[in-house]
Amino acid sequence: MEGLFIGIGMLLAILGPLLLLPAIWLVCRILAWPLRQLATEPQGLLDGFLGYRRLAVLAVAAVLVLGSVGGSYAWGRAEFDRLCILRGTPEIHRVVLVNGYFQTPLFPYQARQSLDDGTFKFLEGPGQRTEGFRRYTLDGHGGLEEVEISELSSQYGYRETFETAPGASR
């Protein structure tokens, strides 16, 4: 069922702009009546304009429809950007100097990336295949050493969480 919705979404993304044509046509029909009334007035307000009336009505209708669609997109995009800045930036509660920390989840490639810069001497995390914990350090040759430990020695930890904002689809 999800594939059907993805297909409909792709079809609308490709053919969606064509759906603006009926809206432009409808606005043209609505605008044509007042212009016809102005053209029949004795002052001749539209005497030089009558030859281009259809083209002008079409241009005004296109500007109205595309302006309203573009304006709603711009407002939505601005709100999205505001919420991303407000809620999407990481929060650092306090900075401390430590030799190592606990991270969940922690995979060997993540430990390698964090240990290579030399800031930390060790990282600890849950075992991937066992119930215990693992400690990752660099050996004397620049390789990653992984040791199973029974008790954690790190005072601080790092946890990454992802939340979906209310009303957002995932």
For the chain, the structural domain boundaries read: 2-87, 100-159
C-alpha pair distances (Å), 76 with each of 6, 23, 64, 84, 131: 22, 21, 18, 12, 47
pLDDT for 77 equals 93
Mean pLDDT of 52-57: 73
End-to-end CA distance of the chain: 16
Backbone angles phi, psi at 46, to 5 degrees: -115, 30
pTM of the model: 0.45
Confidence bin at 75 (pLDDT 50/70/90): very high
Q: What Rg value do the Cα atoms of the chain yield, rounded?
A: 32
Share of the chain above pLDDT 70, in %: 86
CATH ID of 100-159, from 3.30.450, 1.10.3470, 3.30.505, 1.10.530: 3.30.505
Q: How far apart are CA 138 and CA 136, in angstroms?
A: 7
> What confidence tens digit (pLDDT) does each residue in 7-53 have?
888 888 888 888 899 999 999 888 887 766 665 555 555 555 555 66
